[in-house]
Structure 1
Amino acid sequence: MCYPSRWVVAFVGLLGGAATTRGADPTDHFEAKVRPVLVQHCIKCHGPEKQKGGLRLDSKTGWQTGGESGPSLVPGKPAESLLIKALSGADGVSQMPPNGKLTAAEIAALEQWVKDGAVDPRMGGPARLGGVTAAEAKDWWSFRSVIRPAVPKSAGTNAIDAFIRAKLAGANLNLSPAADKRTLIRRATYDLTGLPPTPQEIEAFLKDDSPEAFAKVVDRLLASPAYGERWGRHWLDLVRYADTAGENSDHPLPHAWRYRNWVIDAVNRDVPYDEFLRDQLAGDIVAARNPNEKYAPRVVATGFLALARRFGHDIDKDIHLTYEDTIDTVGKAFLGLTIGCARCHDHKYDAITAKDYYALYGILDSTKFAFPGCEPQQRPRDLVPLMPPAEWDRVVKPYKDKLANLDAQQAHLRAEQTKLVRELKARAETTGRVLARGEIPDGGEQVFDKLPAEIEVRAGQFLQLSVTPLKNHGADSTLIEWDIAEVGGKERRWNLTADVLDDLLAGNPHGDTHGNKRVWWFLDTRDGPIPLSESARDLSGKPGLNAWRNGDTPSVFANCAKEPAPVWTKLPGRSVFVHPGPNGNVAVGWLSPVDGKIRITGRIRDAHPGGPDGVGWVLERFTGERGADLLAVAGKSEKQQALERERAALVGSAPVQDVAFAVMESTPHDVKVHLRGDPEKLGPVVPRRWLEVFGGELLPAKAGSGRLELAGWITAKNNPLTARVMVNRIWLHHFGKGLVKTPNDFGARGSAPSHPELLDWLASEFVEKKWSVKALHRQIMLSATYQQASVLRPDAAKIDANNDLYWRFDRRRLSGEELRDSLLTASGQLDRKPGGAHPFPPEASWSYSQHVPFSTFYESDKRSVYLISVRNRRHPFLGLFDGADPNATTPQRQDTTVPTQALYFLNDPFFHGQSEKVAAHALAKPEPARLDELFRAAFQRTPTAKEQDAANAFLKRYTATLTETPPADRTKAAWAALARVLLASNEFLYLD
């Protein structure tokens, strides 16, 4: 803002004077003492040219609005005003001006001004919204209401042609003649399905001379499942679809495919566009309010939000960047606005403020996004169930009832067993005698070398070897070797390893090699001798590493294999081990089956050195008859094991609910502005609301996150952007360029529409036809504008070189997906069944990191829309042929021509393989029909006489060069080479 120099001259001399006395006119004080200070020291950095910290001081509105830290003045309270604090650098506020402090008199004048109410007669300029004034925003072409224009008078019945012809007439141009029928059906079929027409479809169209012939083709193509795959891909480009998360380890998203397939299905069903958008923003909310058959699809639809890119190492810490990605995508894809530019400050060019951005941010922060996993937290979480809670409760109730019954039975058995164990433990205190005890240090071992030479036993008596942790639980895997030899009698032997190793899991208690049952016992002795009840096979995935255990510990386990097992340590083969619990003993017991004398030998060794200490051990003999007591306890354990097996089987067959990578409601709340976009520096709270330029409507009370209201604001019929943006996209994908050439930017930095009346007519027609995309396709494709030939007309090119007026149809190259799908179609290898989930590794095995991220591409003969999309590594084929970037919204594909594309056709195994299959199909025909078959596969037509001569000459020349190829293979090689020539030709790659 400029001020007449007379103000400065008149009042600068007064700055040194005393502050106005109480009762002086506040306006006079402002003009005499305040305005000159602001002009001299503040406006340069906080005026119309520059607004440091988002603050303007050239008008009353400026300081009332404030900057990133909120309003800069509190009238009547100078001590609470940021501007006054900044003059002296008080309370940690940066001193202003930064290059020199104001004089005491200047500061006093400003303090008095604020104390007196901060009277400010400056009205300043007009109110501003972001980079424009409110009046400019209201008058911006894309913010004006859509008003259906009158259709220009013109021959014909299609309104599109009337608008196009009117523009052409102004440049003394006219439409080109219609394309020939073969060109037209090929154009339409690729346009709507991304695939070539079959020879039979072409033949039928050529024979149909009715006026409705092309309309019937359009309707047939719109009804094809391939239509949704083609136009669904356009939407997936726009919403940056991917099958990985995008953070530094690029975690897989195993359920993302559900959203991809939902888009394809919704497009095929011609779901009204307003409903299509609403479900992607708030489908879960709509589904919860009225559960029906659409519940699961609506939940899946919110995958649009959940698929936002993740950032960094620990993605929860960078969630603000995920929200930015979402806001940016919603703004560009749905509204044609670059809302993301307002994250750090008001938009520099458009009517979007930082407060607008954080009003939408609060809606997202009140939403729970599915978590994909990341390097420090590998497992996904917060996936969204696909069944209404009440329905799921009904499904799962029988299972829960059975589970509760089993749990009750187990609790009853445990209580009975506890009573038996207590009685057994009490009797053991009077009948037990220690035979030997010791402690082994870390990495050490001990043998049983201080036992009596002979020990008398009776059938039913019990020997128990207990291993206990020391204070640091240093030895966790302890080797046990225990041998018992009968002295006299039949001189039988019982060896722990030999008796149990080959069939450890046969039972606990375990038999011996003499046919005696229940001789060896594996016990948890922390609260009494209770048989270990849980069996486990192939621990850590190692065959032959089996165990009896209670939880993870205590346990008795064995490496039954001959080779050492490398697990937590290297366990020697054919060995038995025990692992005490951190809070108590584990024991191996021998229940004597004989009366007589025995000799005991054995050893204990730390099998996993490295802890601060080893283990203690004690060998006890219980002289009383314990067999009946132990068998009673074992009986309870066996019943518990049976119940546990039944329970495990029940859990294994439990109902499993499908889930989606989607979003759900969270705790609703408003958020604070992130000053300069930094989440660590917070400004004032912003209520959740709609964009201010469109009214700034606040959320109603108890609205939840606000996503449903946001969807309503975006799809409201009076929203001037949504319909305009979408019809422009549809036009773009039909003609190769939009009526607005910047499809994601309808703001000040974007292009104005080339045909504004046509754009508004299409937008109003779109809404009037209940947001039907298929109806819009028909309107466009049945126009003479769409059906024009693509032949260049030099006279017209001199006037309109870029064909901005649509005096012909622009030729285009096939997209990467169309090219790959066409190659598979030509070779007969295309799998037309819809794609499903990708074969990702099980989530339990994930250990992706920044250094070893997920980066696998899965081979498939399905349509290219179903190929895996990896965010941090482009698909080799689609990356080469200009596929969409899955990290950002792609409104329009690039169209590059680079040497590596030509090299692809020369060298790529996939291309060569398809060419060989095309040639093989041709060679399967009688010789006179082979060239016809080859040309039909490539171009859906037969060759001309000139082409036949050229092809035969090529085959003859090429065959002559194959001197090192066996004669039997030369024909195949030559025809494969000819197939490569055709499949790499412009007629195959380009569409007229």
Structure 2
Amino acid sequence: MSLLSLSLSASYLQAADDDEAFFEQRIRPILVEHCYDCHSGVNSEGGLLLDTRQGWHKGGDNGAAILPGKPDESLLIKAVRYDADAGLAMPPEDAGGKLSGQQIAALEEWIRRGAPDPRIAVAKLGGMSEADAQTWWAFQPLPKADLHPTPGKVDAYLNRQLAEHSLSTAPTADKRTLIRRATYDLTGLPPTPEEVAAFLADDSPDAYAQVIDRLLDSPQYGVRWGRHWLDVVRYADTAGENTDRPLPHAWRYRNWVIDALNQDKPFDEFVRLQLAGDLLTAEQPPAQANEGIIATGYLAIARRFGHDIDQQNYLTHEDVIDNLGKNFLGLTTGCARCHDHKYDPITAADYYALYGIFESTQFAFPGCEPKGQPRDLISLASLAEIEALLRPWNDKVAQAAAQKKQLEQTAASLREFRDNNTRQLVPKTLIAEGSSVPFAEVKATVRKGEVLQLTVWPNESHGADSTRVEWKIQEVGGEARSWDVEDLIAVISQGNPLTDKHGATWCFLETTDLPVSLSQRYDSLQDNAALKAWKRADDALSIFVNTSDQPVDVWTTLPGQAFFVHPEHNRPVTVAWVSPLDGDVTLAGAVADAHPSGSDGISFDLTHIAAPQYGQGLIELGKAALMPAVDPGPQPKIPVAYAVTEGQPADARLQKRGDPEQLGDAVERRWLTVFGGQPLANRQASGRAELADWISAHPLTARVIVNRVWQWHFGQGLAATPNNFGSRGQPPSHPELLDWLAAEFAASGYQLKPLHRLIMQTAAYQRSSEPPVGALDADPDNRWLGRFELRRLSAEELRDSLLQVSGQLDLEPAQQHPFPDESTWTFTQHTPFSALYETNKRSVYLMVQRQRRHPFLALFDGADPNASTPVRATSTVPTQSLYFLNDPFFHAQATATADRLAVEADPDKRLRQTYQRLFQREPTERETAAAALFLAEYPAEPTEQWRAYVRVLLAGNEFIHVD
């Protein structure tokens, strides 16, 4: 190498050293002091990180922050200069304000030099280094299973930790405690006195194992453990958007969960069906295909948001992604919506890879304020089944339509006869308020079938009112017959049309447009049997009579033995006489306002319709109107599921900072990068089926559910954060045990019932809750399980126990709630849906509302239906005590319990039976004495004394706790 080359190399190295020294001495201190608070580590305001070379090279939401060699064009320099044109001012005034001139000059020089920066960040994936992500405990393959899991092996893992912490263990609990504990754990109900007695009398080595098997075979097992799962998946019966609309069909998913657990459906299949059951069972027989559809209710029950749901679907997708991450994987995937996860190896691109899968899925639509009715529900019936279901109803609809059409055609032909053949006998005449207008010696020549009709009209100021009609028709010559509306009073209920003794037919009509027969008979008005009427509908338009010979006081005083009509606003009422003769008649009578009200009265006219066809038509019309109308009834409900199906498959575009208005590049649908990032094999589908396979087969899924089962038995999981197995979650207390259990669970077919048997037969599960000496100081949280943990009953267990001991509990599964029919929904933001539906069924079947929680469940720490509830809180607040003092439901169950036990007349036997039913044990001598003292001194009669005593027992700690 020449001297010149050596000289140049030395100069280059010296320049590099100078640049690095310049950065360390002049630039790094500025960045650390003024920039790192907002632009380093997990703090990336504006998406910009300044703590590594990769960070500023990538830039933030506004693009590249530094252009090496070009300080005047770099956003960083514009920001520290407070460049008004750029709209940037960093650091802001509340964080120290503008840098000094020397500091700005140093940054300018640094960029002019090409922005040399020795800070090379380790390769990262989201909030973890790639190395940490690959070695993270929760992501590792499961160890090899030995396929011979025994309770003793579980205890061996636990005992090692107990020994390391120098902890002794509590003795084994007595048999009464064990059966009570096991029965509540597996069914959520107390054991019956008979079950306890049988277990206590059974000295066989497998007596306890037989109890576990019996409880696992009970349908109530699925009810209890289904409620656990519904907590995790934030089940609710309402949508959660601003009107909180009901979900009338969500119950199918709830019941599917219960049934699947009772069947001990393998958990990996349980997972797959909830994510893609409609796809996985599409080719199976109808029952299995419908099961797959219903299972996807898991996705459909995602919360809906805002006023117009369709405008905020991105929030529903976020709810789905967040929940499936927590439910199945124990990862907070939703945190990557706006940016790479700050702590776990999940990138924003991972989030939108999943987002595309659900954007390619069509979700059932629950309705919302601007789009009131549900849509996109999934049919559970084939086209042939739907056709068969609807055929009888469609036939009735057709019959009703034909009946209506026939009436309309008859009425239309009558109008034509009437309009072409009508002659005024008495022109339209005003009757002032409270007045009467007579008419006399009105002559008409009629033929058989022709009609004389008297019509009463309301006037302009809504003067429709009770109107007395007196009307007599006299035959001139011939047989000298006469007809009088007074003769109709006694026989008015016999029909409309009504044929009298001389062969004439009377018709009572509304004649607003087409003549319409008054077809509804009323045998009393305002609960007065003397008043009888014919109406068309349940309004005032009518003809009515007072059949009594005495006046009747109702809305006014109606004289005895009188005939009335009552028009309605803009709707006249008519009394028509169909002639039985050919000849002359005279008409006489009067029309009187029978209910003065200070208005403008009524009017009437008298007409002759000289068309025999009209009279015959009126009679036919009346007879047809009296025929029972064909009522199709409500349309049969097609069985549907609140579920999902395939939509239009497409990749989603990344939403910058989670804003759907700021779209970035499309992200290919795929699996999470940290788990391999496999793309979809079938891009013509949504990707849910492949996602279901990825999730169900991943070791995390087995670890997470095994940890949950452990938690639901012991009160806390081996990992105390069951929804978070990431870096912010707590690591497991017994990592080897968790891995071993998960491996055995997966290898033995992912079935939960064998896992229950394994856990419940351990020495750890069977220990007493009485802490050994020093245990509370050495292990206050019982992390190492030297004892069993006393716990309060959950809200559902408490309510169900009250119903059971009172004899009121209905163990049959429930189905839909009595929601109002969808066609009637008018819920708004200001008048949202709200309801409580009482039931004596298990509490898992209570209607769960998102926006207004059930008061009992909320009071006793029930699950929050708006978010996954991995662990129930246990609060102690004064209102819980007040519940036992004041609540009608509690008092009703206490009364029913007391009365049920009071059948036993012997006080000592009754007390023993009470303690056996409530606490599954005999009362002590002290308790017997206390009961006698209470009953002697309580100031009430004996029945109420006993009820009060039972209330005390039901509100006591022993009833509401299990150890």
The TM tier, using the shorter chain, reads 0.7 to 0.9
Residue 178 of structure 2: aligned partner: 184
Counterpart of 1:991 in structure 2: which amino acid? Answer: V
Deviations 1:853-886 (A, max 9, x none): 5554344443332333343444444333322222
| 1:186 counterpart letter in structure 2 | R
- For the residues of structure 1 that align with 2:401 and 2:185, how far apart are their CA atoms? 64
From 947, 951, 957, give the equivalent of 2:927. Answer: 951
Instruction: Work out the CA distance in 2 between the residues paired with 1:41 and 1:445.
Output: 91
1:961 aligns with 2:942: no
Q: Which residue of 2 aligns with 1:348?
A: 342
Partner of 2:917: 937
If the length of structure 1 is used for normalisation, what is the TM-score? Answer: 0.74
Shift of 1:652: 2.6
> Cα deviation per residue 1:68-108 (whole Å; 9 max; x = unaligned)?
69x879x9xx9xx9999x99xxxx997557789xxxxx9xx
Q: Taking structure 1 as reference, are residues 955 and 272 closer, same or farther at Cα in structure 2, changes over 3 Å only?
A: closer
For 1:456, what is the secondary structure of its paired residue? strand
Query: What SS is found at the alignment partner of 1:281?
Result: helix
Q: Does 1:334 align with 2:328?
A: yes
Residue 693 of structure 1 aligns with which residue?
674
Deviates more, 1:833-842 or 1:727-736: 833-842
Residue 205 (structure 1) shift: 2.8
Counterpart check, 1:628 vs 2:608: no
Letter matched to residue 516 of structure 1? A
Q: Distance in 2 between matches of 1:534 and 1:668?
A: 60
Matches within 5 A, 1:208-287: 208-287=202-281
CA contact (8 A) 1:524 1:586 kept: yes
Residues 32-87 of structure 1: CA deviation (Å, up to 9, x unaligned): xxx9x999999997676643443568889769977669x879x9xx9xx9999x99
Structure 1 pair 559–861 and aligned structure 2 pair: CA distance change class (3 A): farther
Does residue 161 (structure 1) correspond to residue 155 (structure 2)? The answer is yes
Q: How far 1:375 sits from its partner (Å)?
A: 5.6
Question: What secondary structure does 2:258 align onto?
Answer: helix
2:10 is matched with: none
Residue 14 of structure 1: aligned partner: none
Cα displacement string for residues 720-764 of structure 1 (whole angstroms, at most 9, x for unaligned residues): 321111110000011111011001111121111112222122222
**Closer/same/farther in 2, CA of residues 901 and 407 from structure 1, 3 Å limit:** closer
Offset of residue 290 of structure 1? 2.6
2-side partners of 1:379 and 1:738: how far apart? 43
Give yes or no for the alignment of 1:714 onto 2:675: no
The equivalent residue for 2:773 is 794
Change (3 A) 1:535 1:810: same
Displacement of 1:454 in angstroms is: 3.8
Go from structure 1 to structure 2 and tell me whether the alpha carbon gap of 1:392 and 1:286 turns closer, same or farther (over 3 Å shift).
farther
1:196 aligns with 2:185: no
In structure 2, relative to structure 1, the CA distance for the partners of 1:409 and 1:881 (3 Å cut) is closer
TM-fit CA distance, 1:142: 1.8
Please state how far the C-alpha of 1:603 moved relative to its aligned partner. Answer: 10
The normalised TM-score by structure 2 is 0.76
After TM superposition, give the deviation of residue 189 of structure 1 in Å: 1.7
Q: Which amino acid aligns with 2:301?
A: L
- 1:693 partner amino acid: V
* Structure 1 residues 45 and 652: CA distance shift in structure 2, 3 A: same
Deviation of 1:776 (Å): 0.9
Instruction: Report matched runs for 1:872-951 at 5 Å.
Output: 872-905=851-884, 908=887, 910-911=889-890, 914-915=893-894, 917-918=897-898, 921=901, 924-943=904-923, 947-948=924-925, 950-951=926-927
| Residue in 1 that maps onto 2:504 | 516
In the alignment, which of 458, 461, 469 is matched to residue 446 of structure 2? Answer: 458
- Note if contact 1:919-1:934 (Cα within 8 Å) is conserved in structure 2: no
Unaligned stretches of 5+ residues in structure 2 = 1-14, 93-97, 99-103, 476-480, 546-551, 556-562
State the partner residue of 1:17: none
Bigger mean CA deviation after superposition, 132-141 or 630-639: 630-639
Looking at structure 2, the residues matched to 907 and 974 of structure 1 have their Cα atoms a distance apart, in angstroms, of 17
**What is the aligned-residue RMSD (CA, Å)?**
5.8
1:990 aligned partner: 961
Percent identity between the aligned chains? 44
What is the aligned counterpart of 1:132 among 112, 124, 128?
128
Following superposition, the deviation at residue 215 of structure 1 comes to 1.7
Call closer, same or farther: CA 1:802–1:928 in 2, change over 3 Å.
Answer: closer
Q: Is the 8 A contact 1:324 1:340 kept in 2?
A: yes
Instruction: Letter of the 1:951 partner, please give it.
Output: E
Please give the residue correspondences for 1:293-372 in structure 2 after superposition, counting only pairs within 5 Å.
293-312=287-306, 315=309, 317-372=311-366
Select the residue among 747, 758, 763 that pairs with 1:779. 758
933-942 vs 314-323, greater mean Cα deviation: 314-323
Aligned to 1:16: none
Q: How does 1:415-454 map to 2 (within 5 A)?
A: 417=409, 431=421, 454=442
Q: How many angstroms apart in 1 are the aligned matches of 2:671 and 2:598?
A: 65
The corresponding residue for 1:146 is 142
Q: 1:587/1:737 Cα in 2 relative to 1: closer, same or farther (>3 Å)? A: same
Q: List alignment gaps of at least 5 residues for structure 1.
A: 12-34, 101-105, 566-572
Indicate how the Cα distance of structure 1 residues 875 and 984 shifts in structure 2: closer, same or farther if over 3 A, else same: same
Mapped to 2, the partners of 1:181 and 1:773 lie a distance apart of 24
Matched letter for residue 727 of structure 1:
V
Q: Could you report, residue by residue, the CA deviation over 1:274-325 in whole angstroms, capped at 9, with x for unpaired residues?
A: 2222333333444544342234444333333333334445555554444433
Q: Look up the match of 1:746.
A: 725
Q: Which amino acid aligns with 1:749?
A: R
- Which whole-Å CA distance do the structure 2 matches of 1:851 and 1:413 have between them? 46
Question: Which amino acid in the other structure matches residue 139 of structure 1?
Answer: T
Amino acid at match of 2:638: Q
Q: Distance in 2 between matches of 1:138 and 1:922?
A: 67
Is 2:454–2:607's contact at 8 Å kept on the other side of the alignment?
no
Partner of 1:645, secondary structure, is coil
How many residues align? The count is 896
- Give the secondary structure class of the aligned counterpart of 1:786: coil
How far apart are the structure 2 equivalents of 1:492 and 1:853?
A: 60
Contact preservation (8 Å) 2:457, 2:567: no
Q: Deviations over 1:604-646 (max 9, x none)?
A: 99x9999xxx9x9997967652x2266469859977997x934
AA of the residue aligned to 2:730: S
Question: Higher mean Cα deviation, 479-488 or 271-280?
Answer: 479-488
Which residue, 825, 849, 854 being the options, matches 2:804? 825
SS at match of 1:294: helix
Residue aligned with 1:160, SS: helix
1:725-736 equivalences in 2 (<5 Å): 725-736=704-715
Query: Conserved in 1, the CA contact under 8 Å of 2:458 and 2:464?
Result: no
**What SS does structure 2 have at the residue aligned with 1:868?**
coil
Q: Which amino acid aligns with 1:51?
A: S
Q: CA deviation at 1:559?
A: 8.6
Q: Which amino acid aligns with 1:200?
A: E
Describe how 1:338-737 pairs up with structure 2 within 5 A.
Answer: 338-372=332-366, 380-397=374-391, 400=394, 402=395, 406=399, 417=409, 431=421, 454=442, 456-459=444-447, 460-461=449-450, 485=471, 489=475, 492-493=483-484, 516-517=504-505, 519-520=507-508, 522=510, 532=516, 548=536, 557-558=541-542, 576-577=566-567, 590=576, 592-593=578-579, 595-598=584-587, 624-625=610-611, 627-628=612-613, 631=616, 645-646=629-630, 648=631, 651-652=632-633, 655-699=636-680, 701=682, 703-715=684-696, 717=697, 719-737=698-716
Following superposition, the deviation at residue 777 of structure 1 comes to: 0.7
- Structure 1 residues 290, 9: CA separation in 2 closer, same or farther (over 3 Å shift)? same
**Displacement of 1:905:** 4.4
Secondary structure of the corresponding residue to residue 596 of structure 1: strand
Map residues 98-117 of structure 1 onto 2, 5 A cutoff: none
Matched position secondary structure for 1:721: helix
Query: 1:824 deviation in Å?
Result: 3.5
Relative to 1, partners in 2 of residues 1:486 and 1:707: Cα closer, same or farther, differing over 3 Å?
Answer: same
CA distance in 1, matches of 2:456, 2:125: 77
Q: CA deviation at 1:167?
A: 3.0
Q: CA deviation at 1:264?
A: 1.8
Letter in 2 for 1:140: W
